[in-house]
């Protein structure tokens, strides 16, 4: 090959490179469109119709969204979803952070404790919900029976609306904190220990180190874990439905449970899909806010 033809061959390969990469990526894009985009477009069309599970129905425009947004049941579900999400994300993060900080040091049996603490996340939610139901569902359950034996009036954990909501939120924190602990532990592993040594020499205590060093350094993975946990909470159907079924008197009915009822119990597919789309918009809004915080953390 001559000296003049070598640069020409390099330029030719450089021009073909984008085409080769596009050809390699194209099958994945087509598969993604078929698996995700088509059902999404079809569901959007269903939200504009008054159909059922077996009939597409007639076009009604935004009537389903209007019916949903003017429904008291929808706004009650929104309030509980908000409380459920805030408690689920915040509670699991606080406990996960505390345990990750505790297990960061070389304590005896650290590996065993980490495995045991992962069990609430690893055990199927069906098993966990059955266990919690057995613990609190009836006056003869272990926790109410123990309170009665101590002379304390045993509350109806799953029959009282407020206590049922509290029980569901606590259950969500219990099954979610291992995920937060795992994410936080991975973030803490990247923190250089010499930073803490320098801070200690400057007189910074544990709380000051946590506020000024640990939290800013792990801010990016923390926001990522919040985004993921927010999605998990808003889309969490089995945790609520298996424990309370959305009751009593809709006290624990979230948006995803309400959408399920509308589609599979009331056979109002259009309204059910409309609820699902509205909850999706809420998740997108929260994700965008947290992604903006991630960019701020990266530029800090």
102 and 7 both lie in a single domain: no
* 15-24 confidence digits (pLDDT tens): 677 777 777 8
CATH number at residue 244: 1.10.3720.10
In a domain, 170, yes or no: yes
Residue 172 structural domain: 64-299
Residue 30 lies in a domain: yes
Instruction: Give the pLDDT score at 3.
Output: 47
Rounded to whole angstroms, the Cα distance separating 220 from 71 reads 38
Region 62-84: mean pLDDT is 93
Whether the per-residue pLDDT at 14 is higher than 80: the answer is: no
Q: Check pLDDT > 90 for residue 168.
A: yes
Q: Are residues 182 and 248 in the same domain?
A: yes
Q: Tell me, yes or no, whether 69 and 162 share the same domain.
A: yes
- In this structure, the answer to whether residues 141 and 15 fall within a common structural domain is no
pLDDT of residue 12: 63
Query: Both 22 and 145 in a single domain?
Result: no
pLDDT of residue 199: 76
What is the tens place of the pLDDT at every residue in 197-233? 777 777 777 788 888 888 888 888 898 899 899 999 9
pTM of the model: 0.85
Please indicate, yes or no, whether residues 4 and 81 belong to a single structural domain of this protein: no
Which residues make Cβ contacts (< 8 Å) with residue 99, sequence separation at least 6?
A: 117, 177, 181
Considering the domain architecture, whether residues 5 and 109 belong to the same structural domain is answered as no
Domain count, the chain: 2
Determine, yes or no, domain membership for 51. no
Looking at the structure, tell me whether residues 131 and 160 fall in a common domain. Answer: yes
Residues of 111-149 as b/e, b for ≥16 C-beta within 10 angstroms? Answer: eeebeebeebbeeebeebbeebbeebbeeebeebeeeee
The answer to whether residues 38 and 88 belong to one domain is no
Average pLDDT over every residue of 104-132: 84
User: 5 and 131, same structural domain?
Assistant: no
Please write the tens of the pLDDT for every residue from 183-199.
Answer: 998 888 877 777 777 77
Using CA atoms, how far apart are residues 19 and 5, in angstroms rounded to an integer? Answer: 22
Q: Is there a single domain that holds both residue 294 and residue 201?
A: yes
Residue 246 in any domain: the answer is yes
């Amino acid at each position: 090959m001559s000296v003049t033809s070598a640069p020409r061959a390099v330029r030719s390969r450089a021009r073909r490179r984008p085409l080769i990469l596009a050809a390699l990526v194209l099958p994945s894009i087509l598969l993604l469109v078929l698996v995700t985009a088509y059902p999404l477009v079809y569901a959007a069309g269903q939200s504009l119709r008054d159909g059922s599970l077996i009939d597409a129905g007639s076009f009604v425009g935004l009537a389903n969204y209007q019916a949903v947004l003017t429904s008291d049941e929808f706004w009650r579900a929104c309030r509980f979803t908000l409380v459920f999400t805030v408690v689920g994300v915040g509670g699991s993060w606080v406990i996960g952070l505390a345990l990750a900080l505790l297990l960061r040091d070389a304590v005896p049996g650290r590996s065993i404790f980490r495995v045991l603490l992962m069990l609430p996340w690893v055990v199927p939610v069906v098993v966990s919900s059955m266990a919690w139901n057995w613990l609190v569902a009836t006056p003869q359950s272990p926790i109410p029976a123990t309170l009665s034996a101590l002379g304390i009036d045993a509350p109806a954990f799953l029959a009282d609306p407020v206590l049922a909501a509290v029980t569901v939120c606590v259950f969500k924190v219990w099954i979610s904190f291992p995920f937060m602990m795992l994410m936080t532990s991975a973030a803490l592993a990247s923190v250089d220990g010499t930073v803490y040594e320098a801070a200690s020499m400057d007189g910074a205590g544990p709380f000051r180190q946590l506020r000024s060093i640990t939290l800013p350094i792990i801010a990016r993975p923390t926001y990522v874990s919040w985004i993921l946990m927010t999605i998990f909470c808003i889309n969490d159907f089995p945790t609520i439905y298996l424990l309370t079924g959305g009751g009593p008197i809709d006290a624990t009915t979230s948006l995803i449970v309400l959408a399920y009822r509308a589609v599979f119990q009331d056979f109002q597919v259009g309204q059910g899909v409309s609820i699902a789309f509205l909850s999706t918009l809420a998740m997108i809004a929260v994700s965008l806010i947290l992604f903006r915080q991630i960019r701020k953390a990266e530029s800090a």
